[in-house]
Structure 1
Amino acid sequence: MPFADIVRAAADQFHRDSIPVLRRRGWRPRAIAYDGYGSAAPDRSGVPAPDAPSRDMARVLARMVMRPPNAPSEGPLFQRLPEQLPTTARDARRQAAQNLLEAQRGWRMFIDVPVPHLPVTVHLGAASVQTRADREGYVDVVVRGHGLPPGWHDATLEATGTEPVTTRVFVVAPGPRLGVVCDIDDTVMVSHVPRMFVAAWNQLVKYTSSREPVPGMAQLLTQVLQEHPGTPVIYLSTGAWNVVPTYRAFFERNGFPQGPMLMTDWGPTNTGLFRSGIEHKRTGLRRLMIDLPEVKWLLVGDDGQHDPLIYGEVAREHSDRVAAVAIRRLTPTEQVLAGTQLTHPVGLAPEVRALAESGVPVAAGADGFELARALHPEALAVQPQR
């Protein structure tokens, strides 16, 4: 038996053995909801089309985990200063104790106990779907026939033995439209730690103030949204699902647009001990192109790892679905921390010739301000139907 299968079986058995013990201590299942995305059926009259149930869809994401009865909510942490600073030593001690308790969530989520195969019902608009969590507690379900108009909407998840949880889904308007796929680590935020330790850093250190935004990236994405209203912004990252609350807080604190995050999970798979970040991004991009067939994408990443290679492959194979590629050039120090060699002088490594072969416009710059200047407006001119 392959070693990865042994590790995976041991992890599954540990989770199965842990759940009864935690239940006796008062722990119960809880749904951790993540933002999703979807499409609306073509409808120009304001009346749902007869074929709407087969033309609209939504992807709803969540995870079922065990939590103690007094566990805090799974919302963003440390996204702002307290409304009132402590005025006495007693208040300061109380606030410090509360911050310490909440900070423990960082490494408590690092050892989440998932609830596998739990029955879940998802309600969105006019549709409801019954499904089950997978072996790691994840719910990734497509809801069709929701009948909702474009924009943000609430979906409700009901699972056996849990309180109902509401999550959000961004429904994209029908017709040709621009969309944005954006990497996170080293593209919109810099952690100043080696890439091999970023995952642990994100898990164990929950203070979003310890991360710095890349200058101009929030402004770049916001400008795209202002010039192209209704643009979906999807953050595609190799980071773990556990750190989504941290990223949400970082985005809100630094003015980044809201958008679904497509993350990955740690642990053994059917093919190895660790998941492939490259395959995660390849699969994520192809899934987006299938789910949202009328969207033409602006792909934003950095040259510290494999974004130019992945984006180049996608642009060459589906040049009609890629509006432009924007690559942030890392500094020499960031290149070292990212675990890669220094980049080609023009900012794109030689092995990504696929970008040039695709004929898709490519912009490179040290930050969001340079990328905004390098991106020509005509490259993003995808006119939506109104």
Structure 2
Amino acid sequence: METLSPPTIYEKTGSLKGRLKGRLLSWLHLTERPVVKVYRGFGNDHQLTIHGSVFHRSALSRTKYRSNIWVNLLGLIRLFLVKPYPHATVKVWANDQTAQAKTDAEGYFRLEIKLPQPLPPGWHRIQVQLIHETVLAESEGSVLIPHQTEFACISDIDDTFLVSHSATITKRLTVLLTRNAHTRKPFEGVVAHYRLLAEANSGPAATNPFFYVSSSEWNLYDYILEFSEKNGLPEGVYFLSPLKRLKDVLKTGQNKHMTKFMRIVRILEAYPNQRFILLGDDTQEDPTIYASIVEHFPTQIRCVYIRQVHGKNEPKTRAKLVGIEAKGVPYCYFAHSAEARQHSIDNGLVAT
């Protein structure tokens, strides 16, 4: 849970400007107290990778969800009214060790903590504090040490399991701006397929780990997490794109494809002895990115799944998939999750 600092100067002063600003922030469900947001981290036998963001201004957690267009519009916009806390000092406690880091110009931090000995598989709690002479804010988070299982999964989000209409900007924005994490829908059958992949051949008390990599921004982290938990998707680690401000909200989820490639590479390099299933769609650049991943890491990729969403991209997608198959990696280009599920059964990835 987040611990907020004492009231801001606007709350302390009795000026008209301060009172009006306070009311506006309250109406928008924003706070100008420093906040530490810790994203789910990951680790291996040698180190833990911990990351998060620090904010001067951020959105308070949403507790009510209604099917009201204007409420949902406001609920989305306020996620882009954040004000990062740049060059701030954060202190991390993990596995009886401490480390410090500075946030970058966008308030983001990432650090590695070396492990004197491997930790047991599972989720491990960490604590992060914002330090400026005293503790201004603190938060808890978790880090995943994956079980040693047959495979792990790396999945895109938009139009892979979350219906988003990414290929058409007007449709994408309409869905994003008028619906919320409780009214958005996953593709039919996708949750059942993902849960089969998570539980397949993993052994007792273990699951195949999931990593979710998206071009969507960290502004939408809680939104995506709420959607995933509500719909029963496998618990996993999320890798999103740098924060955007309100002026860039119309560009959300766009033009982060090279950084997406590098985030996938970071996962593969963290687990060099693990094989992975890649899941994506044909609306943007997943086929190209996954073909490049197979080119560089052919022995680590077990299978590639591409959801067929945008008909115009089919010829280009099939050309990329032919290249993937030429490297000895099977693929499934499917329109419905039932096809992907059957492919997983036929290829021995999951049992019926």
**Superposition TM-score tier, normalisation by shorter sequence:** 0.7 to 0.9
**What is the distance in 1 between the residues matched to 2:340 and 2:115?**
39
Distance 1:236 1:195, change over 3 A: farther
**What is the distance in 2 between the residues matched to 1:198 and 1:31?**
33
C-alpha displacement at 1:35, in angstroms?
1.1
2:170 maps to 1:180 = no
Give aligned-pair identity as a percent: 23
Which AA in structure 1 matches 2:76?
Answer: G
Distance 1:155 1:144, change over 3 A: same
Provide the residue aligned with 2:35 in structure 1: 30
Partner of 2:84: helix, strand, or coil? coil
**What is the distance in 1 between the residues matched to 2:178 and 2:349?**
37
Which AA in structure 2 matches 1:188?
Answer: F
Number of matched residues?
309
Structure showing greater relative contact order (alpha-carbon pairs closer than 8 Å, 6 or more residues apart): 1
1:224 aligned to 164, 184, 197, which one? 197
Q: Which moved more, 1:298-307 or 1:207-216?
A: 207-216
**What is the distance in 1 between the residues matched to 2:221 and 2:81?**
15
**What is the distance in 2 between the residues matched to 1:202 and 1:142?**
37
Question: Are 1:316 and 1:357, in contact at CA under 8 Å, matched by a contact in 2?
Answer: no
2:328 maps to 1:359 = yes
Question: Are 2:153 and 2:279, in contact at CA under 8 Å, matched by a contact in 1?
Answer: yes
1:66 aligned to 56, 77, 82, which one? 56
2:262 maps to 1:283 = yes
Provide the residue aligned with 1:132 in structure 2: 102
Which AA in structure 2 matches 1:305?
Answer: Q
Question: Are 2:217 and 2:244, in contact at CA under 8 Å, matched by a contact in 1?
Answer: no
Which AA in structure 2 matches 1:263?
Answer: L
**What is the distance in 1 between the residues matched to 2:114 and 2:213?**
23
For structure 1, the residue ranges without an aligned partner over 5 or more in a row are 1-21, 42-54, 82-95, 382-386
Q: Cα RMSD (Å) of the superposition?
A: 3.1
**What is the distance in 1 between the residues matched to 2:172 and 2:9?**
32
**What is the distance in 2 between the residues matched to 1:319 and 1:116?**
39
**What is the distance in 1 between the residues matched to 2:141 and 2:274?**
23
C-alpha displacement at 1:159, in angstroms?
0.8
1:123 aligned to 72, 93, 96, which one? 93
C-alpha displacement at 1:168, in angstroms?
1.5
C-alpha displacement at 1:198, in angstroms?
7.2
1:159 aligned to 116, 122, 130, which one? 130
2:121 maps to 1:150 = yes
**What is the distance in 2 between the residues matched to 1:31 and 1:199?**
29
Question: Are 1:329 and 1:365, in contact at CA under 8 Å, matched by a contact in 2?
Answer: yes
**What is the distance in 2 between the residues matched to 1:197 and 1:121?**
42
Distance 1:127 1:72, change over 3 A: same
Partner of 2:317: helix, strand, or coil? coil
2:84 maps to 1:114 = yes
1:268-299 CA distance string (max 9 Å, x none): 9xxxx998422022101111111122221100
Provide the residue aligned with 2:228 in structure 1: 251
Partner of 1:295: helix, strand, or coil? coil
Which AA in structure 1 matches 2:328?
Answer: G
Distance 1:30 1:199, change over 3 A: farther
Question: Are 1:151 and 1:170, in contact at CA under 8 Å, matched by a contact in 2?
Answer: yes
1:161-209 CA distance string (max 9 Å, x none): 4332011111113x56411000110100113575435775677446124
Provide the residue aligned with 1:169 in structure 2: 143
Provide the residue aligned with 1:324 in structure 2: 303
With the length of structure 2 as denominator, give the TM-score of the two structures: 0.78
Which AA in structure 2 matches 1:226?
Answer: E
For structure 2, the residue ranges without an aligned partner over 5 or more in a row are 1-6, 12-31, 246-250
Question: Are 2:218 and 2:240, in contact at CA under 8 Å, matched by a contact in 1?
Answer: yes
